[in-house]
Amino acid sequence: MEILDGKKAAQAIKDELKMEVAQLAVEGKKIPHLAAILVGNNGASETYVAAKVKACDEVGFKSTLVRFEADIPSVKLLEKVQELNNDPDVDGILVQLPLPKHIRERDVIDAIDPDKDVDGFHPVNIGKMLQGLPSFVPATPHGIMLLLEHFKVETKGKHAVVVGRSNIVGRPMSILLSSNSNPGNCTVTICHSHTQNLKELCLQADIIVAALGKPEFVTADMVKEGAVVVDVGITRLEDSTRKSGFKLKGDVQFDTVAPKCSWITPVPGGVGPMTIAALMKNTFVSCKMKN
């Protein structure tokens, strides 16, 4: 069994970006600028946004963090998005999800200029991705593809089972894995909460992508020998023995599943860092298009 080390792969991507940004500076060109909007003070969202801002610093991007109270009226948030759309210095806009219940996430995502939608959630980008056209690919599935590429995991002709069909992970993941590309060219089965024979399907999988948000859901009896397992799940479970007061759990029961796998991602240190690396890559591309 080998570890799909997301920290290592993400570092390689960030190192490359850092060199490219330094080159832009030498040439007197524009430096990438990511603007992140954080609404409220959800602990997990705070952590994710802080990690994204830190990654910007690491690679030499400019970053702006815009914070709003949880009760901000929807219209104010939309105004801010519009302002960032119109700011020629901003290359990428991300609105950290989830948003408070009174704000319709769809409206906010739709308001972002597709050319600055570095999270890749805008319908224009999703549509382009579906057709295999250049687009911003959602950061988490994009990061997983970069991870498979980095470790040269063979995907062609394999049966991939994606558990979860969300717009930000499961669905785009299934499209990317089935696309005519490398990595890609998988035969894909996409599962959800109404799938009846999930265990049997997983047992047929050469590649499992677990993205359902249920800690340790995928157990050893669901995985065939030699499978590649990508664990997207991140759930915070209370743990009073830790300083933070919680521990992170993936959707895969790592200790029992890992011995059966050819490759497996850890949690933390697998998909998480790759999501951020993919976001950095998207922001760089957005800036380069302007340059």
List residues near ligand NDP by CB under 6 A: 140, 163-166, 168-170, 191-195, 198, 211-214, 232-235, 271-272, 275
| Of 60 and 268, CB closest to ligand NDP | 268
3-state SS string for 267-283: CCCCHHHHHHHHHHHHH
Q: Which of 5, 117, 119, 206 is catalytic?
A: 119
Active site (annotated) includes residue 119: yes
Residue for token pair 């991507």: 13
| Of 9 and 80, CB closest to ligand NDP | 9
Q: How far is the CB of 250 from ligand NDP (least distance, A)?
A: 8
Residue for token pair 């570095």: 118
Q: Which of 14, 52, 62, 281 is catalytic?
A: 52
**Pairing, β 235-238 against β 246-249:** antiparallel
Active site (annotated) includes residue 89: no
Q: How far is the CB of 24 from ligand NDP (least distance, A)?
A: 27
| Of 30 and 214, CB closest to ligand NDP | 214
Token pair listed for 197 = 């024979």
Instruction: Write the DSSP symbol of residue 27.
Output: T
Active site (annotated) includes residue 199: no
Task: Report CA dihedral (271, 234, 140, 66) to the nearest 10 degrees.
Answer: -120
- CA terminus-to-terminus distance, the chain: 43
Residues near 53 by beta carbon (within 8 Å), at least 6 away in sequence: 36, 63, 65
3-state SS string for 235-270: EEEECCCCCCCEEEECCECHHHHHHHEEEECCCCCC
**Pairing, β 187-191 against β 159-163:** parallel
At 280, the amino acid letter reads M
Residues labelled catalytic: 52, 96, 119
